[in-house]
Structure 1
Amino acid sequence: VPHVAGKGCWSVQNLVSAISQSDAGRRALVPYFQSIIQTLLITSERPDAEVGLKMECYEAMNEILRSSTEENHPTVGQLIPHVLQKLSATLVGQEQMSSDMREKQADAQALLCGTLQVIIQVLGAASQETKEQTLFAHADSLMHAFLSVFSCRSSTVHEEAMLAVGALAYAVGENFIKYMDAFIPYVKLGLENHEEHQVCAVTVGVVGDICRALDDKIEPYCEPIVYLLLRDLGSEKLHRSVKPPILSCFGDLALATGASFEKFLSYVVGMLQSAMQLSANTNPDDEEMVDYNNELRNGIFEAYAGILQGLKLESMDASKLNGIREHVPFVVDFIEAVSKDPNCDSTVTRSMVGVLGDIAKCVRGVGPVFAQKPFWNQFLSECASSPDDALRRDAAWARDNIQKRMNEDR
């Protein structure tokens, strides 16, 4: 009975989730790993397996995949061609299908892409030898399949495939460059998709993944990406939840491309100024807006962190540096205001501390700004007494940089 089988899958999923919380639990699962996977695959292919049962099978399988150990990785790698074959089968003859059948195929594609994402993440964390023997050997086939899925234009599938591509980029690193020419049109489509904002949000996240994978090799593709991100920020149609990650994405791009990002600086800084004004004018009594404002602030600070660290300002000539230096007082004023806001959360606090340190370290001639704005002293002292070890270390680092900069700029 499919209903009973579904309950069995749910039980397996929860059992594995509980057991795999410890290393000992993961090791205990090793002897049963392959047989559980095989049973779930067989169950998902039962003639009476509707979408619900298939979903329960794959969710259970994803859970046990996440619990895998190095001993299981060869088995995980063997799943790739099987899942790819299943995915390819869903892409055949869609033009002749009824809308109901196409919808079912889209659900199946989303499930399979989700499982491939988990497989990629698991193998991406494996040893280099295992990665080369499993993931790298199938990377071309995986990317080809994801590109085929994108052409289906289903938003749910697009989202799942995009997440899988992000995982693949992270796993294969700079080798992902060979897929960029084929992939960039779908990045553009995702960033232009204001109506289905989840797709846009996922695409923004994948741009960050690609930045970390390719580093400065992403530079030839930057211009259209930055243009679309700027357009997204200015769109009234795009859901506001996507906009803080877009700001963070500018930081990823700046960090990856370094000095090449300088040509976008005036546009991006203008958007960051607008975001700071929006944040400053947010109603502190609106609980929903308080949470959003913290996301917005964090996006702003992550953008500045990437810009300050990425542009290699220490070696930038004085004329170009002036544009950044002139903007520093506004950023410091914003940090001062946010630091005094009781609604400011811990993530934002940590980001602010980092940006203060980055400004002091990277921008020559800003010592007087810190001298005129002594709030940082008390703020960093409060952070230095935090129970959070990382925040205490960051606060000490920021203080050292500020004091050094003030001494140098006297």
Structure 2
Amino acid sequence: MDAATLLANSLSENAATRQSATEQLEAARRDNLAGYLHTLAQELANESAPSHIRNAAGIAFKNAVSARDAVNQPALSEAWMNLSDDVRNALKHSLLSSLASQDKRAAGVAAQAVSAVAAVELPRGGWSELIGQLLQFVQNEENTGLRVATLQTIGYICEVVQPQYLSARSNEILTAVVQGARKEEPSTDVQTAAINALYNSLEFIRDNFEREGERNYIMQVVCEATQSAAVAVQVGAFECLVRIMSLYYEYMELYMERALFGLTIMGMKHPEEPVALQAIEFWSTVCEEEIEIGIESQEALAYGEEPAVVSKHFAKMALNEILPVLLELLTQQEEDADEDEWTKSMAAAACLELLARDVGDAIVQPVVPFVEQGIRSSEWRHREAAVMAFGCILDGPETTTLSTLVAQALGTLINMLQSDPDVHVRDSVAWTLSKITELMLEVVDTGSHLQSLVQALVMGVQSGTPRIINSCCSALSNLVIQLLPADMIAEDPATSPMSPFFEPIFKALMPVTEKASNDGNSRTAAYQTMATFVANSARDTLTMAEQVTVEMLRRQETLLGMQNQLLGMDDRNNWNDMQINICVVIQAFIQKSPALVQPYADQIMTNLLTILSSSAKHGAVLEDLLATIGALAGALEAGFVKYMEAFIGFLLGGLQAVDDYQVVQAAVYCVSDVARAIQEQLSPYAERIMVELIAILRSPVIHRQVKPTAITAIGEVALAVGPDFTRFLETTMAILSQAGATTASSSDLALNEFVWTMREAIVDAFIGIMNGLKAGDPAPMLPYVEGIMNFLQGCMSEEDRTEDFVTNTLGLIGDFGDTFKGTVRELLCTEWVQNAIAVGRQRGASKQSRTNAAYAQKTIKELSK
């Protein structure tokens, strides 16, 4: 079968034909990558081939070089670079030639393929001539299609290649892109492609943007593009303004005063929805930036520092202009809008929420008349907009500013939820009530409002409308959590203001959870609310919580009996979804009342093990099953050991599921839960568990998020098995030493946060090992103390150390002194240790940090005697 036929079949509506073609193409890629890519490049370049075949060839080429996820990218990159220079050069030449195709789709997908190769080669110093070739293509006035495809390519490259690999040509790239984006450009297609490329290049032209003359020119071109006759250009220009505001807020004052206030307010009124949406997004971004600046300024003030960026208060300055536009847009709802469709009224509501958080009290007075007038309107759009506006301003202004208004409105909102004839209005009322119960519950008078509020919310749960069900479930959950007496932490209270309503609420939730489908996620919302009520039961409602759990176990067993009747993936996914939800409720009961769960333990564990045996390939189910089993272990403690023989294989399987890191994470958490529960009875299983935990730490492909959790779990295993951990000590200390060598630059915030999380976990593990060995002979740990102290000293010398790290370090130092006494005097009686103790005692340190500092100081004093 030739390549064109295979590519055509890969697009077939017939699933069997499509799968067969896809498998043959994948086999060709594995067997002979050079030949496979050569064939695809030929098909892409073939001007006589149908457009859809050329498009399929281009996508297949791109996918052979560019992975959908970061885990698989190194293998694809290596495979490409292992091709000979001649082969790669020929393929690159063919791809560049395809940019000039008269077929727009083929040229567009060639742009994607070129950028995929560039993402591999440019960071490695390859294809150095590429940018120069693309810049020549952009200047080819005779071939508009080539210019469009080339600008698309430049945009893609700017999106996928790190700025440092383009910096040498950044000025030329910017010149070419801005040239094409100017209003004088005769081709709308070229201008659209250029403005989109400019959007992708904004992050790496920071040096240019910091120079006033260049910044002025860029802003002029973008602002002029917002006035283009072409909608696509306008949309792209407003997208650029959104991105510019996000990246370069500190430079925007002049442009806001001269142009952006007017342009964006007019843009919000634009009849073309895509333009209006981006103009609204501009103001949402302004608010987001100013909210973040406010948070950072407060943090800087707390530390006696100057904030990095000062708010210009653009939103507050423009409030009187933008607020009326947003409120008017709220009334432009689309009656039959799809739930997933983002409309102007939805965007306006989201912007209004951010605006309230940004300007605070200033928003209340201008919005109140709109609410008061609209809520009495006979037109449903005005009633819905009024309620939505009210809900949107609840987060931001001071509670004292809003409390009277909320108290006055509550009765009206309750009545509207029960009786308004329009479902859109009831939907927004339910959402607003969920916001009130989340943010301003103190306004709800439990004597006069609570019963009518709960009754209205129960009616909402019974409404059959998914969005209303979801909001009412959220409001009920807020009520039961926040109204539970504060002494819940120390001892379960006898009752709660919500106790009288548990029975009607459970009765309303049950039918929703029994639905065959999960429309709008409403079934899941009902299950989650049920779990929240179980978790927040007072003593007088524990019996009902127990009855609900018994019903969950019955449903679980019914579902297990239905497995052979499942037809296709939809049935399986629905089955999985219900099992997950049931597990959430059961887990809530286990954690709520370990004593009451004892009689059901065998039934729970039998069910869970049966599901585990049939759901090995369904990650989401496995996560919740492992979490529930971990909770059960915590409830049963040593009694859980009777299930270990049946469970250990599934636990090890979860630890080995490296293709699904969330399953691995859940399994690692479960190891910690089980270790804490059965303590020394873990010993017969410890070796197999440790092999998998070490493998996780050595794995180059497992998501890095799992590794700190695995290190902590090692500490839990060590603490559980005590002296028996000695057999794992050498291997463990070697792997922890390697993990501790990981460093990060302060510029990579995500990696820096990960490194400190790793370091905290390493110290946790040392503490677990130390305390585990102390139960017998701690001497095997002594040879490692000096290396550990060097590690701690290096970390403590870094300014961005975390408080948790400091706290744990002081605890470990105290343990060393308490355990090894004078043997470690020289290591502990040092200046850096005293400095560390001072850090733990300093003003603002946590209570635990001060306690550990005192413990460390006490043991060192003992050593000095």
| TM-score relative to the length of structure 2 | 0.44
Structure 2 vs 1, CA of residues 55 and 374 (structure 1 numbering), >3 Å: closer, same or farther? same
Q: Deviations over 1:254-307 (max 9, x none)?
A: 1111100000000100011101112xx322321111110111001100000001
Counterparts of 1:275-354 in structure 2, within 5 Å, are: 275-278=739-742, 281-312=743-774, 316=777, 321=779, 323-354=780-811
Tell whether 2:536 aligns with 1:73. Answer: no
**Paired position in structure 2 for 1:394:** 852
In the alignment, residue 158 of structure 1 is paired with which amino acid?
Answer: L
Partner SS, residue 10 of structure 1:
helix
Partner SS, residue 311 of structure 1:
helix
Instruction: Tell me which of 459, 465, 485 is aligned to 1:2.
Output: 465
State the shift of 1:69 in Å: 1.1
State the shift of 1:63 in Å: 1.7
Once residues 536 and 495 of structure 2 are traced to their aligned partners in structure 1, the CA distance between those partners, rounded to angstroms, is 6
Q: Is the 8 A contact 1:58 1:111 kept in 2?
A: yes
Bigger RCO (CA 8 Å, 6+ sep): 1
Q: Is the 8 A contact 2:479 2:498 kept in 1?
A: no
Q: Is the 8 A contact 2:518 2:524 kept in 1?
A: no
In the alignment, residue 338 of structure 1 is paired with which amino acid?
Answer: C
Q: Is the 8 A contact 1:190 1:203 kept in 2?
A: yes
Once residues 336 and 185 of structure 1 are traced to their aligned partners in structure 2, the CA distance between those partners, rounded to angstroms, is 41
Q: Is the 8 A contact 1:26 1:67 kept in 2?
A: no
State the shift of 1:220 in Å: 0.7
Instruction: Tell me which of 489, 498, 501 is aligned to 1:29.
Output: 498
**Paired position in structure 1 for 2:690:** 226
Counterparts of 1:171-210 in structure 2, within 5 Å, are: 171-210=635-674
Instruction: Tell me which of 92, 110, 117 is aligned to 2:580.
Output: 110
Once residues 527 and 799 of structure 2 are traced to their aligned partners in structure 1, the CA distance between those partners, rounded to angstroms, is 44
Q: Which runs of 5+ in 1 are unaligned?
A: 125-130
Q: Deviations over 1:138-166 (max 9, x none)?
A: 00000011111112221101100110011
Once residues 330 and 164 of structure 1 are traced to their aligned partners in structure 2, the CA distance between those partners, rounded to angstroms, is 39
Partner SS, residue 377 of structure 1:
helix
Q: Deviations over 1:183-216 (max 9, x none)?
A: 1011100100111101111111111111111011
Once residues 644 and 494 of structure 2 are traced to their aligned partners in structure 1, the CA distance between those partners, rounded to angstroms, is 40
**Paired position in structure 2 for 1:127:** none
Counterparts of 1:253-272 in structure 2, within 5 Å, are: 253-272=717-736
Counterparts of 1:9-20 in structure 2, within 5 Å, are: 9-20=473-484
The structure with the largest alpha-carbon Rg is: 2
Range 208-217 or range 382-391, more displaced = 382-391
Once residues 349 and 183 of structure 1 are traced to their aligned partners in structure 2, the CA distance between those partners, rounded to angstroms, is 37
Counterparts of 1:363-402 in structure 2, within 5 Å, are: 363-364=820-821, 365-371=823-829, 373-387=830-844, 388-402=846-860
Instruction: Tell me which of 88, 91, 95 is aligned to 2:557.
Output: 88
Once residues 517 and 710 of structure 2 are traced to their aligned partners in structure 1, the CA distance between those partners, rounded to angstroms, is 44
State the shift of 1:19 in Å: 2.5
**Paired position in structure 1 for 2:531:** 62
In the alignment, residue 705 of structure 2 is paired with which amino acid?
Answer: S
In the alignment, residue 398 of structure 1 is paired with which amino acid?
Answer: A
Structure 2 vs 1, CA of residues 338 and 216 (structure 1 numbering), >3 Å: closer, same or farther? same
Structure 2 vs 1, CA of residues 48 and 284 (structure 1 numbering), >3 Å: closer, same or farther? closer
Tell whether 2:637 aligns with 1:161. Answer: no
Structure 2 vs 1, CA of residues 7 and 284 (structure 1 numbering), >3 Å: closer, same or farther? closer
Q: How many residues align?
A: 391
Q: Which has the higher helix share?
A: 1
In the alignment, residue 105 of structure 1 is paired with which amino acid?
Answer: W
State the shift of 1:363 in Å: 2.7
**Paired position in structure 1 for 2:49:** none
In the alignment, residue 404 of structure 1 is paired with which amino acid?
Answer: E
Once residues 517 and 701 of structure 2 are traced to their aligned partners in structure 1, the CA distance between those partners, rounded to angstroms, is 42
* Identity value in percent: 25
Once residues 310 and 405 of structure 1 are traced to their aligned partners in structure 2, the CA distance between those partners, rounded to angstroms, is 23
Q: Is the 8 A contact 2:494 2:539 kept in 1?
A: no
**Paired position in structure 1 for 2:861:** 403
Structure 2 vs 1, CA of residues 193 and 21 (structure 1 numbering), >3 Å: closer, same or farther? farther
State the shift of 1:47 in Å: 6.1
Q: Which runs of 5+ in 2 are unaligned?
A: 1-463, 488-492
Structure 2 vs 1, CA of residues 8 and 238 (structure 1 numbering), >3 Å: closer, same or farther? same
State the shift of 1:22 in Å: 3.8
State the shift of 1:93 in Å: 3.7
**Paired position in structure 2 for 1:360:** 817
Q: Deviations over 1:204-253 (max 9, x none)?
A: 11111111110111111101000111111111121111001111111111
**Paired position in structure 1 for 2:593:** 123
Structure 2 vs 1, CA of residues 93 and 72 (structure 1 numbering), >3 Å: closer, same or farther? closer
State the shift of 1:115 in Å: 1.1
In the alignment, residue 523 of structure 2 is paired with which amino acid?
Answer: K
Q: Is the 8 A contact 2:515 2:523 kept in 1?
A: no
